[in-house]
């Protein structure tokens, strides 16, 4: 089975009534979270800091409220000079972009974590009921993978700091740590639900590059505005088919796959 056929199968499954119901959950959950964050952020701090920055850049005197946060004094000093103002502005926008991207990915992975077992059970029952669905890991395993991946991601963010000031290259540098986190968690969620530890080691040793390419394409898709609200379920379906197909190969059982392709 080539990658085009794999995508077609995944899309057919995604556009079924049951999967579309699953796909509504990310949309509703994200809208709720963004609604809460919007009204939480639209407060005194952000509004007044924006006014202060505008005044400083226009050469006006800034009157700082005595109750204002401590970082107002620092920002006032830095923004008096063009070079430091540029650096501060660059860093603020950079951090903002990173935060939005990370939040989007985190939110997608949280949703995937809850939906993965239910989605894969439907896929298994529909196409691969002749294959065993063993699964591995314990209740603490996802937490361990999460913490480990989070530390590595933060470490990558730190060591790549010099690249953040280089145009175009900084785009790649920003995304490397987030993609690492995305790949580790998504791949673990799907593989640990379908495969035993031994089966995973055999398949991933042989096909790790294929799954890295797949998670990279899914990560790029998750960066497209609004699409990520609906794509979480497709991510699981797509990777799930990939692992089920490889499981069929090592078990010598391709009957379910051939039957589906001939429909």
Residue 188 Cα to chain centre, angstroms: 13
In the block, residue with structure tokens 């937490």: 143
pLDDT digits (tens, 9 = 90+) for 17-51: 889 888 887 767 766 776 666 555 544 445 555 55
Q: Model-level pTM?
A: 0.75
Least confident of 145-149, 205-209, 238-242, 257-261: 257-261
Residue 52 has pLDDT above 60, yes or no: no
Alpha helices in the chain (DSSP H): 3-14, 17-41, 44-57, 71-78, 82-127, 141-159, 169-194, 197-222, 228-251, 255-261
Kindly state the average pLDDT of the residues 6-10. Answer: 91
The CB-side HSE value for 71 (13 A sphere, CA atoms) comes to 7
Q: Name residues whose C-beta falls within 8 Å of residue 232's C-beta, 6 or more positions apart in sequence.
A: 23, 26, 108, 111, 112, 115
Over residues 232-256, the mean pLDDT reads 85
Q: Tell which wins on pLDDT, 46 or 134.
A: 134
Chain-centre distance of CA 217, in angstroms? 12
Q: Is 120 within 8 Å of 194 (Cβ atoms)? A: yes
Comparing 73 with 156, the larger pLDDT belongs to 156
- CA 76 to each of CA 47, 61, 198: distance values in angstroms, whole numbers, following the listed order: 15, 10, 59
**Mapping DSSP to helix (H, G, I), strand (E, B) and coil, where does residue 212 land?**
helix
Q: 82-127 vs 17-41: helix axis angle to the nearest 10?
A: 160
What pLDDT band is residue 209 in, cutting at 50, 70 and 90?
very high
Delimit the domains of the chain by residue range: 3-36+98-261
Burial 108-146 (b: 16+ CB within 10 A, else e): bbebbbebbeebbebbbeebbeebebebbbeeeeeeebb
pLDDT at 101: 62
Mean pLDDT of 77-95: 56
Per the model's pLDDT, the better-predicted residue between 32 and 132 turns out to be 132
């Amino acid at each position: 089975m080539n990658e085009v056929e794999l995508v077609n199968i995944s899309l057919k499954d995604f556009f079924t009534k049951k999967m579309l119901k699953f796909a509504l959950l990310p949309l509703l959950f994200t809208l709720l979270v963004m609604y809460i964050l919007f009204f939480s952020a639209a407060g005194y701090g952000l509004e007044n800091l924006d006014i202060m920055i505008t005044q400083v850049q226009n050469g006006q005197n800034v009157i700082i409220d005595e109750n204002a946060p401590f970082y107002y004094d620092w920002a006032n000093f830095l923004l008096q000079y063009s070079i430091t103002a540029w650096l501060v502005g660059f860093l603020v926008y950079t951090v903002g972009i990173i935060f939005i991207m990370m939040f989007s990915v985190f939110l997608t992975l949280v949703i995937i974590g809850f939906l993965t077992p239910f989605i894969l059970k439907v896929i298994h029952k529909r196409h691969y009921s002749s294959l065993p669905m063993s699964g591995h890991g314990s209740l603490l395993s996802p937490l361990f993978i999460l913490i480990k991946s989070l530390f590595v991601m933060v470490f990558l963010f730190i060591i790549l700091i010099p690249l953040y000031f280089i145009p175009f290259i900084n785009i790649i540098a920003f995304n490397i740590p987030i993609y690492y986190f995305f790949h580790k968690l998504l791949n673990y969620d799907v593989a640990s639900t379908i495969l035993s530890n031994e089966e995973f080691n055999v398949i991933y040793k042989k096909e790790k590059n294929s799954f890295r390419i797949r998670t990279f394409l899914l990560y790029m898709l998750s960066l497209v505005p609004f699409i990520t609200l609906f794509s979480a379920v497709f991510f699981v379906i797509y990777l799930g088919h990939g692992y089920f197909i490889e499981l069929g190969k090592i078990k010598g059982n391709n009957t379910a796959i051939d039957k589906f392709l001939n429909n």
